[in-house]
Amino acid sequence: MKALVQIEKVGQSFNTKSGRFTALRDIDLEIKKGEVVSLIGHSGCGKSTLLNLIAGLTLPSAGVLLCEGREIPGPGPERAVVFQNHSLLPWMTCFENVMLGVEQVFGRLCTSSGRKEGKAKLKSRVEEALAMVHMEHAMHKYPHEISGGMKQRIGIARAFAMEPKILLMDEPFGAVDAQTRRLLQEDLLAVLQNSRKTVVFVTHSMEEAVLLGDRVALMTPRPGRIQEVVEVDLPRPRPPDVEVNPQFNELKEYLWRKLRAMQITVTGHDR
């Protein structure tokens, strides 16, 4: 299958007060259409930096990133981002927050592409996205009136409503409690099963990486590199009790051993 995103010899460096800082070096990775790739590694290894490069929020210091064979010059509607911070505008209702993204892609800003849609169609898109994440009941509420988990659902709805070709998720469940996190994971699994959306998912959690991913890209401590890409040979749809599957636990333990070995190599100890 042809890659949707190609990352070739990508590096990223920044100027700091103490000198040049290299966050990423020689990143090579292909992301195929319809697959979920989890990025995992120690804090500071450059996972979010790599995600921002794919999003076009920053440009690489070295190498090239391609989406559908074209170099990524900056942000684009074919790539939507869901951050750990939901980034909802507090003065807008949930419906209006989702509509904002929909209008940018299918409304007034796209007249030259021929994709402009009427208000009724835009409204339908928003309502369908909210229903997909079970938030249609809260469409007229403001962000301060709903919980953290609900805010993240709205953020996911906004991203999906824009119909991107690739969804970039930067620890979207990291700020919620364990129970809410599991419910959001199950909701996302159901949505991905129906949509077969291409996803890059940044996480610190080995369990989450295996639960959601078709492949797990394991990154080294900085400067971040892709040390290994692990296939997650678990069938979809993933059942709620997938964590009792021996293969699930074997994959999780394998990732832990790799991460622990890297920590020992870098620090000289395992604590």
pLDDT at 170: 93
pLDDT at 147: 92
pLDDT at 7: 96
DSSP string of 170-198, one letter each residue? ESTTTTS-HHHHHHHHHHHHHHHHHH--E
Residues of the chain with pLDDT under 50: 110-113
**Residue 209 to residues 98, 116, 170, 195, 231: CA-CA distances in angstroms?**
27, 37, 12, 19, 11
pLDDT at 270: 54
> What domains are there in the chain, each with its CATH number?
1-78+167-174+196-271 (3.40.50.300)
pLDDT at 87: 83
pLDDT at 19: 80
Inter-residue contact 24 to 224 (CB < 8 Å)? yes
pTM value is 0.90
Bridge partner list, 66: 6, 71
